[in-house]
Amino acid sequence: MRRRRTLALVLIGVAAVAVCAAVAVLIAPAAADDVIRPRYSAFGYDVTPLTDEQLAPLVAKLDEETYRVTRKAGTEEPFCGDLLNINAEGTYVCVVCGLPLFSSEHKFVSGTGWPSFYTEIDPQQVVTIKDGSGGVRGYEIQCGRCASHLGHRMVDGPPPTGLRYCVNSVSLKFYAADQPLPPESQPVKTETAYFAGGCFWGIEHYFDQGPGVLEAVSGYMQGDVENPSYGQVCMENTHHAETVKVVFDPARISFRRLLQAFFDMHDPTQLNRQGPNLGDQYRSGVWYVSEAQRIEAEQFIAELAASGKHNAPIVTQVEAAKVFWPAEVGHQDFVVKNGGTCDVADPWN
């Protein structure tokens, strides 16, 4: 009987998506308090723009020449920079905020008198300011976190990019490969949490909007089959739950806040279903990765049950996380690609 119900739901999936699309669309971050949403580069660095208050003590440490170049878009004299002839392996970071910007792997001798690189570490860490000239005169480049002036990006570089990032030495600080990077030059120390709350499309979408969330991925957990397919999970009693893996920055958002968002997104009183979706793959669950997460999840559920918000018992399972199996590509970012959120509530606004 369960397989027949599930098969019927699969067959009307397209119609369900259409209904969902009429219910909700992409969200925008709340602007009531004008809070800047955290941003992260592909390499896991916090590139949230620094506020004037955060910048002030950093800028106060700069000498006159470094201030002129980095804060007033100045240019140092050619062939005078301390970093021009450094050939050691290592990383070049922003002299103001410490964000890694360039790697020695991409450095080359341009003969121009300034340190030159044919690519940046990440385009979100080195921002190109376009001026309408098409790059003929060179685009200004800035630090992606503190907006310090670095130099210019030219179109006369070597393969494979054909670009030349022409950088002022005083805008950078060099750390050799055998030197530890300071905390401000390291990627975010992330944590991971796993949530199952019915169809993973909408759950993934809204977790991905969370301030401090680096990544949300749809997948399958807590089942008996290795690397299952969507069809197996739906039809073959594998006991997996559709689950969303959430990688987050605990300095920006707490596990408790994620729990709150999770319970706002779905109905935790529905057993082995969520709305029209039936089957244990749609069960409600928190799969903890540490004892601290287990304690906090159980405490949150107890508080929620005592609050009287729900008229029925909460049936959310709290279990130790098993292997997370990512879902097929077609299920990732499904809402962004197709619209609709499967009646999942927006927990951030």
The single residue of 94, 143, 146, 199 carrying the catalytic annotation is: 199
Tens-digit pLDDT profile for residues 98-136: 999 999 999 999 999 999 999 999 999 999 998 665 555
Check if 199 is active-site. Answer: yes
- Phi/psi of residue 265, nearest 5 degrees: -85, -20
Say if residue 231 is in the same domain as residue 331.
yes
**What's the CATH number where 303 sits?**
3.30.1060.10
Closest listed residue to residue 150, CA positions, set 180, 177, 120: 120
Q: Hey, how many other C-beta atoms are within 10 angstroms of the C-beta on 275?
A: 16
As beta bridge partners, residue 216 has 246
Report the alpha-carbon distance of residue 189 to residue 179 in Å, rounded.
Answer: 19
Indicate the residue among 169, 185, 201 that finishes a domain. 185
47 has a pLDDT exceeding 90 = yes
Indicate the residue among 185, 208, 225 that finishes a domain. 185
**What's the CATH number where 91 sits?**
2.170.150.20
| Helix then strand then coil, % of the chain, to nearest 5 | 30, 20, 50
Indicate the residue among 185, 200, 235 that finishes a domain. 185
Closest listed residue to residue 222, CA positions, set 319, 332, 329, 328: 319
Please tell me the pTM assigned to this model.
0.82
Check if 166 is active-site. Answer: yes
As beta bridge partners, residue 196 has 285
The single residue of 143, 166, 234, 342 carrying the catalytic annotation is: 166
DSSP summary character for residue 199: S
DSSP summary character for residue 43: T
Tell me the mean pLDDT in the region 291-305: 98
Say if residue 166 is in the same domain as residue 197.
no
**Residues, the chain, total?**
349
Tens-digit pLDDT profile for residues 222-279: 999 999 999 999 998 899 999 999 999 999 999 999 999 999 999 999 999 998 999 9
Closest listed residue to residue 272, CA positions, set 318, 315, 321, 333: 315
Report the alpha-carbon distance of residue 189 to residue 251 in Å, rounded.
Answer: 9
